[in-house]
Amino acid sequence: MNILVVDDEALIRSVIKEYLTLEEFKVYEAEDGIKAIEVVKENPIDLVIMDIMMPNMDGYTACKEIKKIKDIPFIMLSARSEEYDKLIGFDLGIDDYVTKPFSPKELVARVKAITKRNIKNNDLVIAGLKIDDLAHEVYVDGKQIILTPKEYDLLKYLMENKNIALSRENLLSNIWGYDFYGDDRTVDTHIKTLRSRLGKYRDIIKTVRGMGYKIEDKG
C-alpha cells in the first residue's frame, strides 16, 4: 500500500511517515499541493493524507486536481475544526478528516479502516492495477480498461499467482484448457497485447527466460 503524505511542515511529514512505515506502508512525501499532483502522476499512490492550509496550492484545490487523475481515498488534516471546513472536504469526496494536533496512532488506525473499506475481498490489487472480479472489470490508476475475455483471465491468473514463475504450458492449460490445440505462441501473443493495454504498468509482467511469465509485486 502506497501512501502520499502532503504537509508543508517537514516534522509532521516525518512523524507520520515513521508510524506508517512501522505498519509496512510505503510512504511518499510532498510539501505542497503542486508537488502532490506530480507525485500522484508518477507513482501508484493508493491513499493521500493531505494538509489543507499550505503555500502554493491548498489541500482542497490539490484534492480536486488529483481526483481528476485518479479516484483515490483522502484523509485531510487541518488546524481548524469548523464544521464548514469539514463539509467542504466531504463534498470533495474525502474519506476522513483529522484535526491537528492529532495522535499518530489514531491516524494510522484511520488509514487502516479506509484501506479495508476500499479494497474489497473480491478485488485483486497490485500497484496501480485492480481487478474487480465480481464486476469483471479491470482498472489502471482508477480508470477502467477493456480486455478480451482471455486477456482478463490471463491477467487475473497472473495476479492471483503474483511473484510465481508460470510456464507457458501452465498458462495454456489453466486459461485455454487441456483440450486446446494451440501452441506457446498463443500465450506470447496474448501477453504482448495485454502489456500494451496496461500502459505504464506493462513492465509488471516479467518474462521468465526459457520458461514463461510472472507478475512481479514488490509491495
Of the residues 65, 98, 118, the one at which a domain ends: 118
Tell me the average confidence (pLDDT) per consecutive run of 10 residues in the chain, 219 residues long: 94 96 93 95 89 90 89 84 60 81 92 74 81 87 92 93 89 76 81 95 94 86
pLDDT confidence of residue 123:
80
**83 vs 121: CA distance, rounded Å:** 34
Whether residues 90 and 176 share a domain: the answer is: no
Residue with cell 495485454: 194
Of the residues 97, 118, 139, the one at which a domain ends: 118
pLDDT confidence of residue 96:
85
Domain that holds residue 40: 2-118
Whether residues 33 and 92 share a domain: the answer is: yes
pLDDT confidence of residue 142:
87
pLDDT confidence of residue 67:
87
Contact 45, 72 (CB under 8 A): yes
pLDDT confidence of residue 134:
76
pLDDT confidence of residue 18:
96
Whether residues 84 and 138 share a domain: the answer is: no
Provide the number of structural domains found in the chain.
2
Whether residues 110 and 129 share a domain: the answer is: no
Extended beta strands in 15-109, E state: 26-30, 47-51, 74-78, 96-99
pLDDT confidence of residue 70:
82
Helices (H), 103-147: 104-118
In terms of pTM, does the model score above 0.85?
no
Whether residues 16 and 29 share a domain: the answer is: yes
